[in-house]
Amino acid sequence: RPRGLFLLAPAFYIPGFAVQEPVPHADFVTLVHGWNDDVIPFENSVRYAGKFKAALHIVESDHRLSSQLPLIASLFDVFLDQVSK
């Protein structure tokens, strides 16, 4: 059981996938998703975060999130600080 999960543009609620809504067995869950993701709709992360009370960051980027790497690194630093306490 991990202490935390840091998920980037996760593929939740995609037709054809056997598991649509995996339960996050972790104390801390953070999702990062791009507003302009044309692969996985950001609304899927909103739905998942709402159900499991996960932290959610929607950023100005696409599915690759490569335009937001410095921001994601900062978010990951905060996440690591949380899980290390």
pLDDT at 6: 98
Mean of the per-residue pLDDT values of the chain: 97
pLDDT at 27: 96
**Do 37 and 14 contact (CB within 8 A), yes or no?**
no
pLDDT at 22: 96
Amino acid letter for position 64: R
pLDDT at 58: 98
Q: How far apart are CA 78 and CA 85, in angstroms?
A: 11
| 10: region left, alpha or beta (phi > 0 left; psi from -120 to 50 alpha) | beta
Per-residue pLDDT averaged across 11-23, rounded? 95
pLDDT at 30: 98
Q: In this predicted model, what pLDDT tens digit does every residue of 25-57 receive, in sequence order?
A: 999 999 999 999 999 999 999 999 999 999 999
